[in-house]
Amino acid sequence: IPEYAFIGRSNVGKSSLINMLTSKKSLAKTSGRPGKTQLINHFIINQEWYLVDLPGYGYAKVSKSAKKVFQKFITQYFKFREQLVCAFVLVDIRHKPQPIDLEFMQYLGENGVPFCIIFTKADKLKPQAIENHVEDYKTVLLETWEDMPQYFITSSSKDIGKEEVLDFIGELNSNMIIE
Ligand code: GDP
């Protein structure tokens, strides 16, 4: 089953986005070790794909050693996930490009992990400001990459971007079946 990973800084709106994407009730949470809080959660969607909920990075209030544990989990995940089709990196649309997010995208790129950007909390900005912030991201990313990665503008509170993300995943899934 193809997998899609969702990751971003803590508080970026990941839980809200996952709730928005999975509100169809076809959702079942899978758990390797019942009773334990999982660092990595898998959700199976429509029997078609796994949504992988990865721990947030960039916690301000977490100790260095805890950060290391998280980092290790994340890097191990990306190392061994053969089913991973695409990682969605969540970015708060309100902020200018942040080094930690750019570094993480760099890491994915260097390790050959395909990724897209999901801008979150779009309801908090006016359309013009959204456009400006996306342009800022383009400018920075095109210094490193040949193309701007595929991106989505979303708001979980206003239910924006849901179909775009789900259609994109559906399309990738159907391409995989044909091959
Ligand atoms: P996580 O830590 O990345 O899982 O973030 P959460 O989903 O818990 O969201 C963090 C905070 O941002 C919460 O207070 C949410 O209510 C808020 N939030 C998340 N998504 C949106 C959004 O699309 N619009 C607005 N206005 N607030 C949001």
Q: Is the pLDDT of residue 53 over 80?
A: yes
| Distance of CA 146 from the midpoint of ligand 1 (Å) | 31
Residues paired with residue 89 on neighbouring β-strands, in sequence order: 7, 117
- Rounded to the nearest whole angstrom, what is the distance from the C-alpha of residue 179 to the centroid of ligand 1? 37
Q: What is the pLDDT of residue 28?
A: 44
Q: Please tell me the total number of residues recorded for the chain in this structure.
A: 179
The residue among 118 and 78 whose pLDDT is bigger is 118
CATH of the domain at 69: 3.40.50.300
Residue range 32-50: mean pLDDT, rounded: 74
C-alpha to C-alpha distance for 125 and 83, rounded to whole angstroms = 35
For the chain, what is the mean pLDDT? 87
pLDDT at 66 exceeding the cut of 90: no
Q: Give yes or no for residue 33 having a pLDDT over 50.
A: no
Please report, rounded to a whole number, the percentage of residues in the chain having pLDDT higher than 70.
88
- Nearest residue (by CA) to ligand 1, atom 6, is 13
Mean pLDDT value of segment 50-73: 79
Is the confidence at residue 94, as pLDDT, over 60? yes
Q: For residue 19, give its domain range.
A: 3-178
Distance 6 CA to ligand 1 centre (A): 14
Residue nearest atom 2 of ligand 1, based on CA coordinates: 11
Res 35: pLDDT: 43
| 175 CA → ligand 1 middle, Å | 32
Q: Whose CA is nearest to atom 18 of ligand 1?
A: 13
Please choose from 6, 7, 10, 11 the residue to mutate so as to test ligand 1's pocket, defined by most ligand atoms within 8 A of CB. Answer: 11
Residue 22 CA to residue 45 CA, distance in Å, equals 7
**What pLDDT is stored for residue 32 in this prediction?**
46
Provide the pLDDT for residue 38: 62
- Structural domain count, the chain: 1
Atom number in ligand 1 closest to CA 11: 2
Q: In what order do the strands lie in the sheet with 3-8?
A: 27-30, 41-45, 49-53, 3-8, 84-92, 115-120, 151-153
Ligand 1: residues with CB < 6 A are 10-16, 56, 120-121, 123-124, 155-157
